[in-house]
Every structure is written in structure tokens, then in C-alpha cells.
Amino acid sequence: MAGPTFRNINVSGIGVETGIGPNQGRLRSMLSTRAEAPQLESTRRSLARLTDEAASRLILQTYLEDEGDGALREITTPSRAELVPDMQLRGIAPQPSLNAQSLTYQQSASNIPIFGGRVVVDIDAHDKTLVSINGRVAPMPDISSVASVSQLQAWKNLVNWSGAKNPPNAPETSPLLTWFLDEGQEKWRLVYHFAAVPFAPPDADSDEGHACVRPSFRSNRAYDYFVDAHNGDVAFWFPSAPGLDIPSPMTGMDCFNVQRQFYGLSGQGGFSLVDPLRNIETYDYTYQDIDQNPAPPFPAGPIVNPTSNMAAASPQAVSAHYHAGLVSDFYNNEMKRSGIDNKGMKLVSVVNVYSSDRNPLPSPQWGNAVWFQGKMWYGEENGVSFAKYLDVIAHELTHGVTESSSNLVYRNIPGALNESYSDIFGVIIANWYPSQPNSIGTWNWKIGAGLGQAGGPIRNFADPAAAGQPDHMNQYRPITRDYGGVHIYSGIHNKAIYKLLTATEHGQPVFPTRELALLLYLTLTRLTQMSDFSDSRRTLKNVAGVYYASTTPADLSTKLGAIDAAFDSVGIT
């Protein structure tokens, strides 16, 4: 008999294959009036009187009860239909593009979170009816929720298992007791989740990191571990991997020797690289070794120039500050996201960084750019700062977006999907300006041009094989290196999205670039920690179905068909 597995939820109720099925009669009465569905006004009026949370919980409750799946019905409490137990509200955010409110829920059991159990319920902003539901839920755990192993013993087991040299005596923060559905062994585990642990597992790659630019000279120095709270075994691991100020216009030459305009802040010492409009700051690490033990202190303040014209004083700082502004504008203005974390976080860039860890280059060279500890860190090679490359910067900052939304784990297929979405937005943002967006026929599909082998790109979005990546699922083989192939198999999903970005019907694009970029962003933020390529396909179709609900049936069919064709072409079912 098969063991427990996650159930995917992709509901929009507009007639697409992932929509509301025949067993979900009550749910149909809760559909948005934007969809073609039976009108039950009493139900709609009842929903309108509820709070956003109460309405979304009632909708989710109804779906789980009507689905006809015994494991899903276990999640509910029929006597309290206004509550979905074991679904903890994590956030409410407006979605103007869908005219909806998005409510994110974390699944739990016995008040213990279920890793990967996450659902986003979109309700109509006006009448609180159902727009869509996307996510994954698991059947209830069937083992004891009481730990048999202490936190301290779990930590000792982890240290012994890792073989770490000079590990800390105790974790910096207490581990979180977590449910982990080990689908490989088809069983539940109650685990201690140790987050951001500063030593590597024994089977981690020594030459791959979260930098993504090229094989990293510096290892991921923090990992998340799951230690079984019943038997003390290490069950799973993955890399952890983002008064009123008046802005002052500034100028300066970037790494391309192009004069850029950007914002800074005027003060007693001059003009600092602080953009108060976008909450962006840029610092100089002065080529200190970030891997020195103890690490050098972080700079006391952002870079300051005596005048508002930096001229050629620091091209690397100008590039980092200017490019951070472009990425910020894209996510803020186009995707309606409030900063990298959607909570207005400060976007910090650090230039002139040196790393001695596994670095074959002489000091002060470090050929990399990374998203690490909620900041962007830039090295340089042969006198060229990696702040020069907008596509690389957009790629890395998108890791911050993923980290604070779907939080796809950085391992195996979920890790490859994580990498792919960073590639997707790296390419989109690099080709967005100055025409916002530029015509698709003019796009450069190469990522990190000149940074790959023999002076080529690190990846080729249009032709992954040209950069040494597989481009079809028939080439997928489970591997252990590169965290299960996160930088290798991302090309398969990349090729599907390339096909979609360039899809045409009667000589015209099937999707306007701006709309498809938004749909991809909405898909990314509705995935879960363990989503795979197929989850991406289903969620994208569901989001597209909602977005184009008011279009003609023929146009909707064309768009959904283009999604199917793109994913079919690379073997993603």
C-alpha cells in the first residue's frame, strides 16, 4: 500500500482541467461573479459579510470537505465550518492585478507546522467570493507529536553526523519542531528544524554554492537540517540561502563607462549612496576577506562622495546602486511587490568583497556575486566588478523573492525550479529596460555573458544545451552533486518558459510580455517549498485561467494551450 503523499490544490472554477470538479457543488456557489457559474446570491451575501480571513477559511473548508478525499477531510472540523484547523494564517496581501486579496496559510498538525504544506487562497476584493486556491496539503501525520529525543541530543547527533570541525557548542537559535513528510521513504517524521547552521553536511558539494554565477569559490556556509525527534537521525538537509529623507539626484560612471543617474542622500559628509525612495543602500567592503575568522566588521555606513557627481570614483558602486534600483523598480512597479521580501526590506549592496574560501584567484580578486544573509555581495575579477551584470544581479535578488515567498528548498528538482525562476527574472529584467519591456525579438537570452567556460555565458535561456544543460526531462537522472543538479536541470524548465515567452499565434505573441511576466511572478509566489516542475505548470495554468477569466473562450483556450505546448515540448507533464 502506498504511503502518505502531498495533495496538490489548483482550483479556479473556470472550466480548465485543474478547476472545480463535479464533486464540489457547494464550492461552486462561492465562485467569483467574474466566472461563469451558477449564481447563489444568498451564499455570496453571506461571504460578503465575513472578514477576509473568515471568508477564505470557509471557502478552503468547503473545498476540503467536498473534494471526496478522506485524507483531506481529516484536516477539517465539520462542527466548526468557519475554521479550518491546522491552517495557520501567515499573511494577507492585496493583488490588484487579480482584483483580489491573497491569504497565505501554513498547514500544521497539533500546532506543529507541516513542512511544504502551504495554501494561497485568492478571494474577490469586493464580495470575498472564490477566485482561486493554489498549494499543497498533506494528510494528517500518523505518529506521535511528542519528541523522544531532546533538542540537545539532536544537536549532538547532527554535529557528530556532519564531522564538522570546531562546531558551536549549541545552535544560535532553538530548533523548531516540524512535521516532515519523507516521500522518499513514504512516511512521516517529527523533526527538529535547525535553521542556518554554520557547517556543511559531509556529502555537500565543495565547489557549488548559491552564487549561481559559476562554480562558487566560497561554499554555502549555512544549511538547514531536519533531525528526527524520535530516533535522532538526520532526515534531510538543504542550503539556507534576503524622520523624512529627501532624495538627492546623483550621477556617476558605471562599469560600462556610461553615466548613470540615481538617487542618494545629502548629509554633512557629502552625498551617500542611500536611496530613500527605494530603501536601497550601497557599501564598500574595501576588499576585506569575508571568510576571515572572526569576520571583519560590516562598514559603519554607506559609501559617501563629497559631491553629487561621483564621476569615475567608483564604477562598481555606481553599477551596484543603479542596478539595484532597476530590479527594485521592476518588482515594486510591475509586480506590485513591496521590496524583496514584500515587507519593504532594505536592499543592501556590498561591493569590493574578497573571499579566501576555495578561491584560486589572488587577493583581492573574487569572481562572484551572491545573495547572502539578506544582502548582495559583489567581488571582482581582472578589475571588473560583478556588479556590472544586471542579469546576474536580478537572478540573485530573485532568490531573495523566492526565499520570502514560496521558499523553494535548494535541493533536487525544487532547487532546480528555484534556480530556474531566478534565471527567468534575470532574463526578463535584463531585457526590460529602457522600453519596459523591450520587444521580445531584440532580447538577449544569454545569462552572464563572458562568465562561462571559454568566455561563453553561464547559461543560455533559449538553448540550454549550448551552455551544457539538459533541455528535456528524458535527460534527467538523479545525481548527488550540485545539490541534486540545481544548476544543471534548471535548463529544462528554462526552455519551457522560453517557448512560452516566444509563443505566437497567427504571427502575434500569444502572451503580452508584461502580462506573462506577472503570471510567472504570481506562479512563483504560489508554489510551496517542495514544488516541482509539474507543480509550476499546473499553478501557471491556474493563475492564467483566473487572470484571463473575462476573455473569450477561444483566447483562453489559446493561452492555456500555449502553456501545455511549452511544457510538453520539454517533457514536463
Count Cβ atoms below 10 Å from residue 217 Cβ, excluding itself. 21
Q: Is 323 considered catalytic here?
A: no
Residue with cell 559583489: 378
Query: Can you tell me the distance from the alpha carbon of 424 to that of 311, in angstroms, rounded to the nearest whole number?
Result: 33
Q: Provide the residue type at 148 as one letter.
A: S
- The alpha-carbon radius of gyration of the chain (Å, integer) is 24
The β-bridge relationship of strands 176-182 and 130-137 is: unpaired
Would you tell me the crossing angle of helices 533-547 and 490-501 to the nearest 10 degrees? 20
Q: At what angle do helices 52-66 and 41-48 cross, to 10 degrees?
A: 140
d(C-alpha 519, C-alpha 547), whole Å: 8
Strand partners for 94: 101
Question: Which candidate, 427, 431, 313, 302, places its Cα nearest to that of 375?
Answer: 302
User: How many angstroms separate the CA atoms of 564 and 561, rounded?
Assistant: 5
- In which residue are the cell numbers 570614483 written? 313
Give counts: helices (H), strands (E), the chain: 13, 24
Q: What are phi and psi of 523, to 5 degrees?
A: -65, -50
Note the residue count of the chain: 573
Among residues 239, 349, 218, which one has the least CA distance to residue 292?
218
* Separation CA 29–CA 130 (nearest Å): 9
CA–CA distance, 410 with 394 (Å, rounded to integer):
18
Nearest in space to 121 (alpha carbons), one of 41, 54, 21: 54
Assigned C-alpha cell, 187: 512516511
Q: What SS3 state is found at 535?
A: helix
**CB-count burial class (<10 Å; 0-12, 13-18, 19+) for 515:** middle
Grid coordinates given for 450: 563572458
Catalytic residue, candidates 208, 281, 396, 419: 396
Catalytic residue, from 193, 210, 321, 487: name it: 487
Paired residues of 250 in beta bridges: 262
Q: Are β-strands 347-351 and 280-284 bridged in parallel, bridged antiparallel, or unpaired?
A: parallel
End-to-end alpha-carbon separation of the chain, Å? 25
Other C-beta atoms lying within 10 Å of the C-beta of residue 68: 11
The set of cell numbers assigned to 512 is 503580452
Please indicate whether residue 403 is annotated as part of the active site. no
As annotated, the active-site residues are: 396, 487
